[in-house]
Structure formats: C-alpha cells, structure tokens
C-alpha cells in the first residue's frame, strides 16, 4: 500500500510536467502554422503559412483567389502556394498582388489604398514659376512674377509647417525684386538645404546671389566672383553625404553600387535605392543564406544598362521598375521618385501620376488631371502630392495644389 502511494506521488509530478511540455509543444506547433486536418483516412498534420493582411485605411475586405475571406488587420492561415490577394474598400482603388505562402513563414499584404476621388486643395494663389524641391524633400522654393516688385521674387514653402486653418499662406518670401529681377532667376539648393543660389541674367550681365533659405526678405549676397568657392563647398557637402551613405553598406554591396548603379534616390529610411543601371551586370547574392519571408514579387538580379530598378538593402532583392528613364528638361524633377513612406514609388508620365509598390507591383493612376511640365512633389508625411497646375485654364498662371492620397 505504501509503495503504491509512493509511486503515485512520483508519477503525478512527472505526468504534470509531461502535460505541460505537450501543451507548450502544441502551442508552438500551431503557432508555426501547423494544423490537424481530419479526412477520410484519419487526422493529417498539415503545414501552413501565415498571411498578415493590413491596409491604410483599415477595415478593408480581403479576397483570396476571388473569395471574400476576412478583413484587414488580421492574420490568415493558408496552405503553401501562390495566391491572388485583393484588398478592397469602397471609395478606393483596389490593391492586388500575387503572394507566395511558404510553410512556417509569415508573408505580408500591406496595402496603401488610394481614393478614387482625391481631394484637390490650393496652396498658393499668386501664381508660381519653376518650383524646386530641396534635398531634404521638405521645402519648395519657387518664383512669383505676377505681383508688385515688393511681392515678386523667391518664396519658400515649408511642407512640414502645420497651419491652423488652411494650407495657404505657409510660404515665406526670402527675396523680392527691389534688388534684382529674382522673379526671373534660376534657383538651386545647397546639399544641406540651408542656402539657395539665385542667378539673374539680362542682356549684358549675369549675377549670382547667395540667400539664406530661412531668412525673410534679406539682403542677398552677390557671390558672382566667388561662385567657384561656393560651389566647391557645396560639392564637398554632397560628396561627404554620399560617402556616409556608401560607408553604411556592406563592402560587397559597396562594390556593386559604385560599379553598376547610377543612383537616382535613396529612400528616406535608407533601406532602398532607386537607380538606373550604369552597365549590364549580375548582382551577386549579398545576404547569405537568403532571408525567408521576403517580398514574393519576382526579382531581377540580371540588370541591363539604362533600365530603372529598386534595390532593397534589408532583403537583398532587386526589382525592375521601368525599361528606360524618360528624359526631362531644365529643372523638371526626375519622373520617378521614392515616396516618403519608403514603401512606394511616384511615377509621372503621359499627363498622369501613378503610385506603385516599391517592387513595381500594384501600379495605380491616382491623378490624370492637368498639371504643368511634370512638376509633382510628394508631401513629407506621405498623405498627399503637390502639383503645379492652372486647372486647364491657359489664361491663368499656374499655382501649387495638393492631391490627397488618403
């Protein structure tokens, strides 16, 4: 009798420990995406993957292979394979993508939904010429030539400012026409966005002025004779920044970028590079072994000279975006750029503005109204775009407007 009691006292803790281990293993088992399916031949253990579906705005419907399956901000267990995923919300363009699900792997469907009827709001009402975006992508310098000498000149629009009632009147004048004809100047930003060079040309002379981008109606500094020294300093600032960005990359990737990439833009979070291939080459695998759970859009590591690509530094994946880069004139911005959210691209072409995922998928025309000479700039908080337009009225001087993306 005593032996039985002792055995029970020993066995009971062992059984409890085994049950706890079994319970923990079951939780891990299901957490990795395994399910027990009951079929005609009894229970079968099946591996699955997870699809995390999110959207902005949230509360959108998620269709898997054409079937309404769930709503966004949810996780779905799916058997391994390729799936056509569509995320839809009334009043917005649908987001669609083919996503590969792998066992024990989390895949993402992260949809930024664009309104089918975007709101248009004016930023200026005095007429705008030749807007130029600064290197930090937060300020626009532009010219006004339709007012009096005191009101004409160079203006700065700070897109990070938060006006209380309206977007209008957030621009500041930094130079007027009382010193020279700044309303007809050519302007350029310093690499640190702190200064602006304004060059005014007439029949007999060309004069270049240096302006502080943060000072209102200042006395412009004539730097015509010392211009080489100014530009040399700016070149050094630009080179130092480029060197710092290159030094942040692994050595093998530094070699690839320096030899094969003509960089158009780094993403704001510096995890992606938009570039034109400077020569035909093959990008070697940088991260070994390759990461799991990466973007399932097919990549292209065999790059061709002149074609436009995005390289994802974090995932070591490369995507072809365009067969060629459309030519621009003068100060017109590059027609393709990385959106400030670092996840999307803005592409200006044929009188349209397209948005797409950074891998080139889900390309959507968000605006096809009139705008001038391809002047399109993303707002720093990624909620809207800035365009230059006269709304199709050729008798009006164009103004800056915002096009909402949310």
The model's pLDDT over 85-129, given as tens digits with 9 standing for 90+, comes to 999 999 999 999 999 999 888 999 999 999 999 999 999 999 999
Query: Sorting pLDDT into bands at 50, 70 and 90, what band is 349?
Result: very high
**Given the structure tokens 């990624």, which residue do they identify?**
382
pLDDT of residue 105: 87
**Which pair of tokens denotes residue 124?**
């200026």
Average pLDDT value over all residues in the chain: 89
Taking 50 as the threshold, does the pLDDT of residue 44 lie above it? no
Residue 322 to residues 25, 296, 355: CA-CA distances in angstroms?
A: 48, 19, 13
Q: Where are the alpha helices (DSSP H) in 152-250?
A: 227-247
| 99 vs 297: CA distance, rounded Å | 7
Give the separation between CA 289 and CA 271, rounded to whole angstroms.
19
Average pLDDT over residues 18-38: 54
- Token pair belonging to 13: 């803790």
CA distances from 133 to 153, 158, 199, 222, 372 (A): 17, 10, 17, 23, 15
Phi, psi (deg, nearest 5) at residue 340: -60, -20
User: Which domains are delineated in the chain?
Assistant: 44-112 (2.60.40.1120)
Q: Is 224 left (phi over 0), alpha (psi -120 to 50) or beta?
A: alpha
Compare 29 and 354 and report the one with higher pLDDT: 354
Q: Which two tokens stand for residue 401?
A: 């407007």
Q: Which helix (H) or strand (E) holds 2?
A: helix 2-31
pLDDT at 163 over 80: no
Confidence label for 165 from pLDDT (cuts 50, 70 and 90): low
pLDDT tops 80 at residue 288: yes
Q: What is the pLDDT of residue 39?
A: 46
Q: For residues 369 and 363, is the Cβ–Cβ distance under 8 A?
A: no
**In a 10 Å sphere around its CB, with 0-12 CB exposed, 13-18 middle and 19+ buried, how is residue 11 labelled?**
exposed
> Does the pLDDT value for residue 245 go beyond 80?
yes
- How does DSSP assign 131-151, residue by residue? EEE-TTSSEEEEEE-SS-TTT
- The model's pTM: 0.86
Give how far Cα 405 sits from Cα of 166, 289, 402, Å.
Answer: 18, 38, 9
Collapse the DSSP code of 226 into the 3-class scheme (helix H, G, I; strand E, B; otherwise coil) and give the result. Answer: coil
Helix (H), strand (E), coil (C) string for 3-30: HHHHHHHHHHHHHHHHHHHHHHHHHHHH
Closest CA to 197 of 177, 223, 171, 173: 223
Q: Which residue has the tokens 């000279």?
A: 305
Share of the chain above pLDDT 90, in %: 77
Task: Return contacts of 376-381, CB within 8 angstroms, 24+ apart.
Answer: 376/333, 376/346, 376/348, 377/131, 377/133, 377/137, 377/140, 377/333, 378/137, 378/337, 378/339, 378/340, 378/346, 379/159, 379/340, 380/137, 380/138, 380/159, 380/160, 380/340, 381/340
Give the whole-angstrom CA distance, residue 269 versus residue 265.
Answer: 11
pLDDT of residue 277 exceeding 90: yes
Q: What angle do CA 240, 241, 243 make, to 5 degrees?
A: 65
Residue that has been written with the tokens 């992606």 in this structure? 272
Cα(85)–Cα(72) distance, integer angstroms? 12
Verify cis geometry, omega within 30 degrees of 0, for the bond prior to 289.
yes
Count of CA atoms in the C-beta half-sphere (13 A) of 353: 29
């Amino acid at each position: 009798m005593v032996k039985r009691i002792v055995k029970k006292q020993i066995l009971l803790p062992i059984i409890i420990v085994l049950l706890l281990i079994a319970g923990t293993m079951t939780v891990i088992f299901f957490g990795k995406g395994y399910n027990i399916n009951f079929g005609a031949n009894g229970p079968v253990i099946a591996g699955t993957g997870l699809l995390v579906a999110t959207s902005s705005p949230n509360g959108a419907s998620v269709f898997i292979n054409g079937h309404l399956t769930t709503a966004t901000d949810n996780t779905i267990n799916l058997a391994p394979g390729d799936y056509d995923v569509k995320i839809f919300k009334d009043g917005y363009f649908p987001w669609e993508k083919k996503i590969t699900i792998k066992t024990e792997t989390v895949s993402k469907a992260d949809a930024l939904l664009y309104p089918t009827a975007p709101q248009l709001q004016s930023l200026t009402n005095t007429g705008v010429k030749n807007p130029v975006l600064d290197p930090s992508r937060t300020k626009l310098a532009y010219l006004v030539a339709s007012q009096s000498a005191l009101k004409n000149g160079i203006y700065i629009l700070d897109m990070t400012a938060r006006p209380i009632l309206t977007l209008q009147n957030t621009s500041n004048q930094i130079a007027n026409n009382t010193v020279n004809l700044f309303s007809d100047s050519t302007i350029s930003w310093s690499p640190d966005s702190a200064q602006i060079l304004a060059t005014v040309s007439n029949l007999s002379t060309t004069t270049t002025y240096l302006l502080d981008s943060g000072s209102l109606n200042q006395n412009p500094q004539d730097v015509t004779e010392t211009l080489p020294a100014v530009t040399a300093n700016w070149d050094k600032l630009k080179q130092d920044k480029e060197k710092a960005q290159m030094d942040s990359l692994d050595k093998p990737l530094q070699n690839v970028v320096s030899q094969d990439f003509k960089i158009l833009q780094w993403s704001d979070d510096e995890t992606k590079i938009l570039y034109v291939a400077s020569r035909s080459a093959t990008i070697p695998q940088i991260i070994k072994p390759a990461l799991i759970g990466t973007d399932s859009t097919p990549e292209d590591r065999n790059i061709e000279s002149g074609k436009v690509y995005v390289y994802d530094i974090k995932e070591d994946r490369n995507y072809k975006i365009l067969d060629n880069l459309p030519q621009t004139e003068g100060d017109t911005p590059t027609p393709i750029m990385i959106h400030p959210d670092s996840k999307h691209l803005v592409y200006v072409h044929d009188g349209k503005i397209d948005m797409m995922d950074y891998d080139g998928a889900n390309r959507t025309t968000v605006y096809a109204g009139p705008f001038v000479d391809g002047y399109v700039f993303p707002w720093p908080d990624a909620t809207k775009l800035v365009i230059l337009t006269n709304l199709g009225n050729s008798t009006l001087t164009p103004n800056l407007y915002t096009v909402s993306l949310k």
